[in-house]
Amino acid sequence: MRYIIIGAGAVGGAVGGRLAGAGHEVVLVARGAQYAALRDGGLRLRVPEGEFTHRLPVVEGPAGLGVLRADDVLVLAVKTQDTEGALDAWGPAPVEGGGTAAERLPLLCAQNGVEGQRVALRRFRQVYGVCVWLPATFVEPGLVSAAGSPLTGILHLGGYPHGTDETARRIAADLEKSRFEAPVVPDLARWQYAKLLSNLANAVEAVAGPLEDGQAVALVERVQAEGVAVLEAAGIAYTSPEEQREVRGDKITLLPLDDAPRGGGSSWQSLTRGTGTIEADYLNGEIALLGRLHGVPTPLNDLLQRLANTYARERREAGSMPVGELVRLADEAVAAVEKQRSGNQPSGK
């Protein structure tokens, strides 16, 4: 199989680089400065064993490949907010022997949150979800670091909306030859919703900086507790922290890499790069959506969604809000909801 990595940033670059390093055929898809750097200097992947340069085919879209091959696998690694544009481009692409990519090729959604794969299923017949646990950083155009050792990441795979098949098992086998663990599971959503809960911290980090301050850690716990309440009200199952620890164990330890400091998570990286967009609508915003559907207030996630989007839109510096200020805003948001709810209670008269 040939892997077409749509979105060769941190996650896409790490997956594509590791697949290529294990001898698999890989095409990278990128835009702008990243496209130019990959085209001219190759993909530089900095990992604990050293830095490797992979000179791979790189395109800006399907036109760069002409007719796609019947054995192509599309790996969607763009941020969720960029999903529609990628699907618009790749869904109609012709495949050898007839038909289009949307009709004939498997699409893996290697993204945070749960919405990308649902959007994809409107277009593509074969959609697979990926629960991505892969610490990786976009350092600069052409250079991606992945500090995990001995494994680079753990990528749970499954059909969407559920189930497994031979295609998923073949892809998993290729990933497991490429420094990943790739369990194929019939209930992938359980893993994805657990990951969603952990990703609710992304906006806190993006707005107020590293989660080292006790106030920041306490705020994250409140935000995640709000998420748990929403998932339970919605009847959505998720893997427990104990089950996650059992699977992960000590398989991924982050090691320091020369000249490639470990930055923040994906949302922090979006602000640092000044992309103008951020994935908060599909992380904190997913909890806000479920809360509204099931009658559970989500003032903390509402606040973080709004702040993260404001920071991205106005290109504010990542981590520039003092954590004390963020906690104050969070307390005010919770108090406002409590006041509104108490005011709506029957008086008893």
Q: What is the pLDDT of residues 70-90, one digit of tens each?
A: 999 999 999 999 999 999 999
pLDDT per position as a tens digit, 258-284: 766 566 888 999 999 999 999 999 999
Q: What are the start-end ranges of the E strands in the chain?
A: 2-6, 25-29, 43-47, 50-54, 58-59, 72-76, 106-109, 126-133, 136-140, 143-146, 148-150, 153-159, 180-181, 252-254
Structure tokens at 55: 């000179």
Rounded to whole angstroms, what are the CA distances from 237 to 149, 157, 160, 184, 197? 30, 17, 16, 18, 12
Treating both helix axes as pointing N-terminal to C-terminal, what angle do 323-343 and 201-208 enclose, rounded to 10 degrees?
130
Residue 36 sits at φ, ψ, to 5 deg, of: -60, -40
Residue 128 sits at φ, ψ, to 5 deg, of: -125, 140
Band (pLDDT 50/70/90 cuts) for residue 347 is low
Angle at 109 between CA 107 and CA 51, to 5 degrees: 105
Band (pLDDT 50/70/90 cuts) for residue 257 is confident
pLDDT per position as a tens digit, 135-184: 999 999 999 999 999 999 999 999 999 999 999 999 999 999 999 999 99
User: 241: alpha, beta or left, given left = phi > 0 and alpha = psi -120 to 50?
Assistant: alpha
Structure tokens at 54: 């992979």
Give, as one character, the DSSP assignment of residue 76: E
First to last CA, the chain: 72
Average pLDDT of the chain, as a whole number = 95
CB within 8 Å of 333: residues ≥ 6 apart:
299, 300, 302, 303
Residues of the chain with pLDDT > 70, as a percent, come to 97
Residues of the chain with pLDDT > 90, as a percent, come to 92
Band (pLDDT 50/70/90 cuts) for residue 134 is very high
Instruction: Supply the pLDDT for residue 349.
Output: 43
Mean pLDDT along residues 102-130? 97
Instruction: Supply the pLDDT for residue 259.
Output: 67
In this predicted structure, the answer to whether residue 288 has a pLDDT above a threshold of 50 is: yes
